[in-house]
């Protein structure tokens, strides 16, 4: 994803009416500001200091809202990325 300021602005404008909790906002901001590596439930849980079950619920909510999607690559755990604005 291109992490330019225009894309970031478009993302927040597009999703301005979407209800997000504080944890979701925190991780989304981190993804826009240069998150390194791949996002998965264990990293989400570590960043937000929650359980992996809560992390999975937060992530699934964002997938359902069209903000996150699963990445194409396979592997041991499912990874997620922001949907392009």
Helix (H), strand (E), coil (C) string for 38-50: CECHHHHHHHHCC
Can you list the alpha helix ranges (DSSP code H) found in 15-85?
22-32, 41-48, 52-64
Domains identified in the chain and CATH numbers: 5-82 (1.10.10.10)
| Tens-place pLDDT, residues 2-35 | 557 888 999 999 999 999 999 999 999 999 988 8
Query: What pTM, to 2 d.p., does this model score?
Result: 0.86
Residues 6+ apart with CB under 8 A from 85: 7, 10, 11, 13, 14
Percentage, residues of the chain above pLDDT 70: 94
Q: Which residues contact 19 (CB under 8 A, 6 or more apart)?
A: none
Residues 38-65: what's their mean pLDDT?
Answer: 96
Least confident residue range of 30-39, 50-59, 63-72: 30-39
């Amino acid at each position: 994803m291109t992490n330019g300021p225009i894309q970031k602005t478009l993302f927040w404008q597009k999703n301005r009416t979407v209800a997000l909790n504080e944890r979701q906002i925190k991780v989304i901001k981190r993804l826009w500001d240069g998150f390194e590596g791949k996002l998965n439930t264990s990293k989400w849980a570590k960043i937000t200091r929650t359980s992996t079950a809560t992390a999975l619920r937060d992530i699934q909510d964002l997938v359902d809202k069209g903000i996150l999607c699963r990445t194409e690559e396979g592997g041991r755990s499912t990874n997620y990325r922001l949907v392009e604005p």
